[in-house]
Amino acid sequence: MIVLGGNSRQSMASLRGVLDQKLNSLSAHDCTTISQELFSILDTLYSSVSLRRALTDPARDAAAKSLLAQDLFASSISPGALSILIESVALRWSASIDLASAIEQLAIESEATAANAEGSLDRVQDELFVFARTLGENQEFRLTLGDRLGSPIGKREMIADLLGAQGAQANPSTIRLISQAVTGLAGRNIDSVLSVYADAVADRRNRLLVLVTTRIALTASQSDQLSQIMTKHVGQPVHLNYQIDPTILGGVSIRFADELVDGTISTRLAEAGRALAV
């Protein structure tokens, strides 16, 4: 994930929770739409220092910043993407550029969520890694795509030729993310931008990981049932990781993102003991 400090770190954590709620139960297509709209906001933020400052100025109240965001973007993006932007400008940021960094993180994670909805998140993660490695091995290709003054249209066509139907046939989410990465450098070198994208995709996958701790291994039927329950709860397919802990007496402990559901017998006994001691 993009590393932010101070107020920005707390604001980023809050926004990721907002994103989780917005993407819950959305189709892959709708997640991609949110992603593309957030990227369009990002392009505008990167192009205007004065706008970034206006939207992050702590001296302006949240209502004024919200009104500015609506005036600029309401006619061109969906209510879902607009609500994310409004939530973001109401938060405090240590530096105006941090707002852009946060929107970029959310845009990448939205596309990663689209890939996850189609069961291809692992593939996208692998393809981003392979592309970055290929770029590092081909200096001419790297220079062309990393040229900050290069034509965005030309770069997108190059990516489409390389990774599209006539090329390696990469996942559509991979193509969209790489196309955005090479055209949205914003003064950064291409290697660091690709690293940001790869890390953000990995962050979204980690956010969809469910750690299940039990005394003994679950049966296939129990695992399937738990997977269905968690998928319904999250609104997205999840990845279950299992951990055996012989010290617990029974039951199941489930950790997902920032949530912990501890249904083990040992925990319930400890809670009962504390209640009796009161």
**pLDDT, tens digit (0-9, with 9 covering 90-100), for 171-209:** 999 999 999 999 999 999 999 999 999 999 999 988 888
pLDDT for residue 278: 47
pLDDT in tens, the chain (278 residues): 566 878 899 999 999 999 999 999 899 999 999 999 999 999 999 999 999 999 999 999 999 999 999 999 999 999 999 999 999 999 999 999 999 999 999 999 999 999 999 999 999 999 999 999 989 899 998 999 999 888 999 999 999 888 876 556 899 999 999 999 999 999 999 999 999 999 999 999 888 888 888 888 888 888 888 888 888 887 888 888 888 888 877 778 888 766 767 656 555 545 544 554 54
Same domain for 31 and 74:
yes
Count of the separate structural domains present in the chain: 3
Give residue 176's domain range: 120-207
**pLDDT at residue 263, as a whole number:** 59
Picking from 127, 81, 120, the residue whose alpha carbon sits closest to that of residue 103 is 81
CA 211 to chain centre: 19
Q: Spell out where 45-118 has E strands.
A: none
pLDDT at 90: 95
Question: Do both 158 and 53 map to the same domain?
Answer: no
Q: Which of 96, 119, 142 represents a domain boundary (last residue)?
A: 119
Residue 89 and residue 2 in one domain: yes
pLDDT for 249: 72
**Alpha carbon separation from 29 to 35, 118, 172, 189, 221 (Å, rounded):** 10, 10, 11, 30, 31
In tens, the pLDDT along 183-192 reads 999 999 999 9
Q: What number of H helices and E strands is found in the chain?
A: 13, 4
Residues 199 and 124 in one domain: yes
156 and 201 inside one domain: yes
Classify residue 262 by burial, with Cβ atoms within 10 Å: 0-12, 13-18, 19+. middle
pTM of the model: 0.84
Q: Do residues 228 and 155 both lie within one domain?
A: no
- Shared domain for 105 and 35, answered yes or no, is yes
Q: Within this chain, do residues 184 and 79 fall inside the same structural domain, yes or no?
A: no
Residues 79 and 134 both lie in one domain: no
Q: What is the pLDDT of residue 231?
A: 82
Whether residues 86 and 43 share a domain: the answer is yes
Q: Which residue, among 35, 57, 195, 43, has the nearest Cα to 115 in the 3D structure?
A: 35
Residues 6 or more apart in contact with residue 37 via CB below 8 angstroms: 76, 77, 78, 81
Alpha helices, H only, 184-219? 190-207
Domain boundary among 58, 93, 119: 119
d(CA 103, CA 41): 8
- Sheet containing 239-244: order of strands: 239-244, 209-214, 252-256, 259-262
- The whole-number pLDDT of residue 131 equals 93
Structure-block tokens of residue 247: 């010290």
Predicted local confidence at residue 167, as pLDDT: 59
User: Where is the domain boundary, 159, 174, 207?
Assistant: 207
Residues 113 and 124 in one domain: no
Average pLDDT in the chain: 88
Q: In the prediction, which pLDDT does 18 show?
A: 94
Beta strand 252-256 with 239-244: parallel, antiparallel or unpaired? unpaired
pLDDT at 233: 80
Residues 70 and 158 in one domain: no
